[in-house]
Amino acid sequence: MSRLPSGQAILSRSRIIIVGAGFGGLAATQALKYADADVILIDRTNHHLFQPLLYQVATAALSSVDIATATRALLRRQANATVLMAEVVAIDPRGKRVTISSGQDIDYDFLIIATGAAYSYFGHEKWADFSYVLKTLDDATEIRSAILGAFERAEGSGDAEEIRSLLTFVVVGGGPTGVELAGNIAELARSSLTRDFRHINPASARIILCEGSSKVLGEFPDHLSAYAKSSLSSLGVEIRLGTRVTDIGPQGLRAGGQWIDTRSVFWAAGTAARPAAEWLKLEPAHGGAVSVDANCAVIGLRDVFAIGDVSSHTDASGRRLPGLAAVAKQQGVYIGKLLSAKLKGGATFPPFRYRDLGTLAVIGRYRAVARLPGLSLTGTAAWLIWSLVHLFLLVDFRSRLAVYVNWTWSWFTYGRGARLMLGMAAHDSSNPIDTGPPIEPASGGADRQ
């Protein structure tokens, strides 16, 4: 009998460790529900995040709790699953052991790595100090505070040049995240905030989208990309194609040889896999990913699998599978079935085949594109499909209900219900408003205002 770091006893049967509670890791865990094995899911957070709607938290359309659910709550009825909130710092594939941040080791019989990807600055890591990325709930709330804070500081400034800088927002990267973020910042400024300020006009905000290639949504067909570009332009987004960023600093960035004064740069230009290849002491594949075979097994290692963005998986036609949630979920289900069969003595299992059900991207209210099998849609029809698909894919009923209610309210009122600025003090030194001397609290109540 062996023990977990917490001291909880584990029966002497096969142990499967899954690293990462994203789409792939959660799908694999749930697919192993009836397997004759102990499943340990390790993640550095205590929640499963529905990442496709993260930009709506960043632009105040949704609250953090609308798109995240406690992992333990999702798995409370799965008797063979244990959840550990920890960070993996090392893997010994030969000793079949994982080391977590506390320094403790956990042995495994099978290992599934589903740690996803992070943003890459293509060798310019110092740019991270002057820009925002969107991968976690913390990132989203930080971006929301930065966007709303820019309007708040501009309201109290009497300097026209400073106001222009504060109300200039630059998104770097014309993929789905960049397009969705730029479109929603534009709608926030031009619809939701227009009646709330007295000294500035939020609709005058500049939203600039810089993309290094010749089109936005590069993985979509040309006509859908053209529609997305036209829709962004109609929202007032300035689109700069063929424009590469060469410098980012505290006062702005240089793109296409031109300096842009801004306090708000949002980086959505490229990704790199989490350091699984480094853990496994393997030569990384494209984007730092781990190379896997047709069964999602890490090439060169025994009983180690990688799924989702952390893996480099080439299908039968030689095409590398895209970094989509749908790929990770299908791989997670596949690995669950494969290991369940292996535990029952199955010797072979058919290779993984990705079912491409299409790709969706939303630009704004009634504006979306949909690439479906044998069909392309734009506008309201695509927007409705996008809405229904995302509601359906949310992991629990509470999240579906909360998102539906918030979307319905926003649809009728053009409002944004999550406009709280978290982690940003009113007396921030960058805020030029002079509030006068501090006010002493009234006698008898320190919490009075």
Q: CA dihedral in degrees (348, 31, 56, 225; nearest 10)?
A: 30
- Crossing angle of helices 379-393 and 397-413, rounded to 10°: 150
Catalytic pick from 180, 187, 219, 278?
180
**Cβ neighbours around 264 below 10 Å, total:** 22
Sheet containing strand 206-211, edge to edge, reads 237-241, 206-211, 168-172, 264-267
Does the annotation mark 180 as catalytic? yes
Helix axis angle, 325-343 relative to 23-31, nearest 10°? 30
User: Coil, helix or strand for 15?
Assistant: strand
Contacts of 8 (CB under 8 A, 6+ apart): 82
Contact 173, 215 (CB under 8 A): no
For residues 383 and 362, the answer to whether their CB atoms sit within 8 Å is yes
Crossing angle of helices 176-187/222-234, nearest 10°? 20
Alpha-carbon distance values, 417 to 14, 94, 144, 406 (Å): 47, 51, 12, 7
Nearest to 73 by CA among 94, 98, 100, 46: 46
The alpha carbon of 10 is separated from its chain's Cα centroid by a whole number of angstroms, namely 34
Catalytic residues: 180
